[in-house]
């Protein structure tokens, strides 16, 4: 069972953050923005409540872009090492996508689905038991339920 609150930070350590409530879900995103931002095949964000997230040291730089889904997204990153920490939507929808590679403890990071598989790299293999979505899911409830079932956190608020 994972502990709350949990913490993480950027590569150089200038930015540190804390999350006080259980994450809602973890999935892999194969969209072209995630591929470019991370420089890899996909990202593995944890969806968290915006109100549960705070920086405890450092001040992030902000960048904005138009997502594949058409919404305006923003990212907070370290002005020293350039590491992306978290992404959100503008105007806010109350949730943030936390880049799980920045966590101190990654033991609970387990994706329950894959989204934007239409732009997934051809050599990426998605296990049949994992939910898959060609684009942005219209309903995240099955992903939320699957993550809750893993039981990494006591309750999802
Ligand atoms: Zn840094
Ligand atoms: Zn993405």
Tens-of-pLDDT digits for all 157 residues of the chain? Answer: 888 999 999 999 999 999 999 999 999 999 998 999 999 999 999 999 999 999 999 999 999 998 877 889 999 999 999 999 999 999 999 999 999 999 999 999 999 999 999 999 999 999 999 999 999 999 999 999 999 999 999 764 5
- Provide the number of structural domains found in the chain: 1
Is residue 156 one of the residues assigned to a domain? no
Instruction: Show the domain range for 25.
Output: 6-141
Strands 53-57, 45-49: pairing is: unpaired
Is residue 157 one of the residues assigned to a domain? no
Is residue 148 one of the residues assigned to a domain? no
Ligand nearest to the CA of 97: 2
Cα–ligand 1 centroid distance for 26 (angstroms): 24
Is residue 146 one of the residues assigned to a domain? no
Ligand nearest to the CA of 81: 1
Widest pairwise Cα distance in the chain = 41
Q: Is 65:33 a contact under the CB 8 Å cutoff?
A: yes
Q: Residues within 5 Å of ion ligand 2 by Cβ?
A: 29, 31, 34
């Amino acid at each position: 069972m994972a502990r709350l609150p949990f913490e993480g930070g950027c590569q150089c350590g200038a930015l540190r953050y804390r999350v006080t409530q259980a994450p809602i879900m973890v999935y892999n995103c194969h969209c072209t923005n995630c591929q470019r931002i991370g420089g890899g095949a996909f990202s593995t964000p944890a969806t968290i409540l915006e109100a549960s997230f705070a920086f405890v040291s450092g001040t992030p730089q902000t960048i904005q872009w138009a997502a594949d889904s058409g919404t305006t997204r923003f990212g907070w990153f370290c002005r020293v090492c350039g590491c992306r920490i978290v992404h959100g939507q503008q105007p806010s929808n109350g949730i943030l996508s936390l880049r799980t590679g920045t966590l101190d403890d990654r033991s609970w990071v387990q994706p329950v689905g894959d989204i934007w598989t239409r732009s997934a790299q051809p050599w990426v293999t998605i296990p049949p038991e994992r939910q898959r979505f060609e684009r942005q899911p219209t309903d995240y409830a099955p992903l939320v339920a699957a993550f809750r079932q893993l039981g990494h956190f006591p309750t999802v608020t």
